[in-house]
């Protein structure tokens, strides 16, 4: 089955390819000729996810899915949230975002946080579904590990002694917020879409 993942983020693309396996022919935006930045202007994670999927479907006619993710920190009233990628500015620098997060948590004892991913899937029939994945944990005092991307070096999943950046990708893909959303998405594809039950 051929699917388009509506992202320019090569780290996300690699993660999802590992999760999907060989049963799906996954294309990125570059492979369908989309080079422009996708709109993310709704102010919510679910809204941005849908907005990106609808944009790609409308312009390129590809059955596609898009994700939007955010890190929500309890002591920061849910920030950076929908602005996670731009937390420290439009340069979208992982290092700058992490540095600002740690600065804003200086002296804060409540480090509880969660990652959330919303995946939106649009088919040729213009039907839309969304799938949510959540990973709870806490923010460390300093970065640990060199794997992963984004806030992975400072995110310690609940029950783990290692940050996401200290895990191999195969291990991260068994627990991550994106993996959980993808699991629901794949279950849907297996049970509904491939069977043709939704046209």
Q: Supply the DSSP string of 136-174, one letter for each residue.
A: EEEE-SS---SSS-TTGGGEEETT-SS-GGGS-HHHHHH
Query: Could you give the 3-state DSSP secondary structure of residue 117?
Result: strand
Instruction: Evaluate whether 16 touches 179 at the Cβ level (below 8 Å).
Output: no
| In the block, residue with structure tokens 């999802």 | 16
| 66 close to 49: Cβ distance less than 8 angstroms | yes
Q: Which residues of the chain, if any, have pLDDT below 70? A: 125, 193-199
Classified as helix, coil or strand, 2 is strand
pLDDT score of 199: 39
Catalytically annotated residues: 68
- Domains present along the chain, CATH in parentheses: 2-193 (3.90.950.10)
Number of other residues whose CB lies within 10 A of the CB of residue 127: 11
Instruction: State the Cα–Cα distance between residues 76 and 32, nearest whole angstrom.
Output: 39
**Residue 117: which of 1, 9, 3 has the closest Cα?**
9
Q: What is the pLDDT of residues 127-141, one digit of tens each?
A: 899 999 999 999 999
For residue 193, what pLDDT is reported? 57
Q: Quick one: tokens of 180? A: 């959980």
Q: Which helix (H) or strand (E) element contains residue 51?
A: helix 45-60
- pLDDT the model gives residue 198: 43
């Amino acid at each position: 089955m051929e699917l388009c993942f509506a992202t320019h983020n090569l780290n996300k693309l690699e993660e999802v390819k590992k999760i999907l396996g060989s049963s799906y022919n996954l294309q990125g935006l570059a492979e369908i000729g989309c080079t422009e930045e996708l709109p993310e202007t709704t102010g919510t994670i679910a809204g941005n996810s849908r907005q990106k999927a609808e944009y790609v479907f409308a312009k390129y006619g590809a059955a596609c899915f898009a994700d939007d993710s955010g890190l929500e920190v309890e002591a920061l009233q849910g920030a950076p949230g929908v602005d996670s990628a731009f937390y420290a500015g439009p340069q979208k620098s992982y290092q700058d975002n992490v540095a600002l997060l740690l600065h804003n948590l200086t002296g804060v004892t409540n480090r509880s946080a969660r990652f959330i991913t919303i995946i939106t899937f649009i088919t040729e029939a213009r039907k839309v579904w969304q799938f949510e994945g959540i990973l709870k944990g806490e923010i460390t005092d300093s970065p640990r590990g060199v794997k992963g991307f984004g806030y992975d070096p400072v995110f310690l999943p609940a029950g783990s002694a290692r940050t996401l950046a200290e895990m191999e990708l195969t291990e991260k893909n068994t627990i991550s917020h994106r993996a959980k959303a993808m699991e629901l998405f794949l279950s849907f594809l297996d049970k509904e879409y491939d069977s043709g039950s939704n046209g």
